[in-house]
């Protein structure tokens, strides 16, 4: 049985990803750790606790992590996910409580007790992961793999023209993670759009399923749906974190991925949070990026239809 830790800034798409993992019989969720990002830390924690209850499946311990990025003030996405991060539908009333141990200490302890077995899934800013690397780099080298929903992949950014939100919140942390030597798979924002998004028909199936977790997965994304209707007049809910979790759970949905050298921009203000990805293509100037060893596998294409079929099937089972 695979063993995973999920690190989340629990907004509405994180909630769907959490439910997917908790309902899966192919992985054991050893812990959920929370970090600031989509919403401040307290809300991310409440949202994750509520999601664990709604999923009615695995009930892993939850540990509270970093309340601010390493070097910057927090930027949230409440304009997209709602003030509570979950659609402002009065859905969040958890009865579960978090553990008292800090998330970073919990991550390190779990890895020490399971060397070479733990896979970490990051679906928010990676502040907790960077802090763990800084605190105990040798322990973190025992991580089997990190899957990260982050970067804009090979497309434009969603927070600035070049930066994706999870990296933009704490690009210094993302750089530390990418330079750690831990095997990493990146699921960028570019593969989470288009046909990977839930459309009205998909949402109607979930809402009519009679399964509370499936209904919750749609209702908590109300603000995101309204945001997309206003932004592009499309009745869709794009779920980047759910797509990333799909890659974790179902490797058969990955059509193409590639080993790449990824460089995180942190100095130039206009480029802050951009991840420059070199997939090994021949460049006119041979030095610079072409001389670096790949530090991540980047998903380039997924089978959107297969992903959605598996997602809907899992949510309604």
Can you give the pLDDT at residue 303? Answer: 97
Can you give the pLDDT at residue 290? Answer: 64
CA quadruple 111, 117, 121, 125: dihedral, nearest 10 = 30
Token pair 């990824």 is found at 262
Measured between alpha carbons, how far is 100 from 63 in angstroms, rounded to an integer?
7
Residue 85 backbone zone (phi > 0: left; psi -120 to 50: alpha; other: beta): left
Q: Is there a contact between 260 and 282 (Cβ–Cβ < 8 Å)?
A: no
pTM of the model: 0.96
Tell me whether strands 254-264 and 296-302 are parallel, antiparallel or unpaired. Answer: antiparallel
Domains of the chain, start order: 2-316 (3.90.245.10)
Strands (E), the chain: 2-8, 27-34, 62-64, 118-122, 145-149, 184-187, 254-264, 275-278, 296-302
In tens digits, what is the pLDDT along the chain, a chain of 317 residues? Answer: 999 999 999 999 999 999 999 999 999 999 999 999 999 999 999 999 999 999 999 999 999 999 999 999 999 998 889 899 999 999 999 999 999 999 999 999 999 999 999 999 999 999 999 999 999 999 999 999 999 999 999 999 999 999 999 999 999 999 999 999 999 999 999 999 889 999 999 999 999 999 999 999 999 999 888 888 888 898 989 999 999 999 999 999 999 999 999 999 999 999 999 999 998 887 776 555 667 899 999 999 999 999 999 999 999 98
Can you give the pLDDT at residue 287? Answer: 59
The candidate with the shortest Cα–Cα distance to 125, out of 67, 45, 202, is 67
Run of H or E including 206: helix 200-207
**Alpha-carbon 203 to chain mean position:** 21
Can you give the pLDDT at residue 288? Answer: 59
Can you give the pLDDT at residue 122? Answer: 98
Q: Is there a contact between 56 and 212 (Cβ–Cβ < 8 Å)?
A: yes
């Amino acid at each position: 049985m695979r063993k995973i830790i999920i690190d989340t800034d629990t907004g509405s798409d994180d909630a769907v990803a959490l439910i997917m993992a908790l309902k899966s019989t192919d992985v054991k969720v050893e812990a959920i750790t929370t970090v600031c990002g989509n919403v401040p830390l307290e809300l991310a924690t409440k949202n994750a606790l509520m999601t664990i209850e709604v999923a009615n499946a695995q009930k892993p311990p939850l540990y509270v992590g970093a309340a601010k990025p390493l070097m910057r003030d927090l930027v949230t996405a409440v304009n997209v996910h709602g003030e509570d991060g979950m659609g402002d539908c009065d859905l969040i009333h958890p009865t579960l409580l978090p553990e008292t141990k800090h998330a970073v200490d919990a991550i390190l302890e779990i890895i020490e007790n399971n060397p070479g077995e733990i896979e970490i899934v990051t679906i928010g800013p990676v502040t907790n992961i960077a802090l763990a690397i800084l605190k105990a780099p040798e322990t973190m080298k025992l991580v089997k793999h990190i899957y990260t929903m982050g970067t804009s992949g090979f497309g434009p950014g969603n927070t600035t023209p070049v930066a994706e939100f999870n990296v933009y919140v704490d690009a210094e942390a993302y750089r530390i993670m990418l330079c750690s030597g831990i095997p990493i798979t990146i699921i960028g924002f570019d593969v989470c759009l288009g046909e990977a998004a839930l459309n009205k028909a998909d949402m109607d199936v979930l809402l009519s399923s009679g399964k509370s977790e499936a209904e919750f997965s749609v209702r908590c994304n109300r603000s995101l749906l309204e945001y997309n209707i206003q932004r592009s007049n499309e009745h869709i809910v794009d779920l980047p974190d759910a797509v990333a979790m799909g890659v974790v759970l179902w490797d058969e949905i990955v059509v193409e991925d590639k080993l790449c050298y990824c460089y995180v921009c942190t100095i130039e203000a206009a480029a802050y949070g951009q991840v420059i990805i070199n997939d090994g293509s021949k460049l006119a100037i041979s030095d610079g990026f072409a001389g670096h060893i790949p530090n991540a596998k980047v998903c380039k294409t997924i089978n959107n239809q297969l992903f959605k079929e598996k997602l809907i099937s899992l949510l309604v089972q």
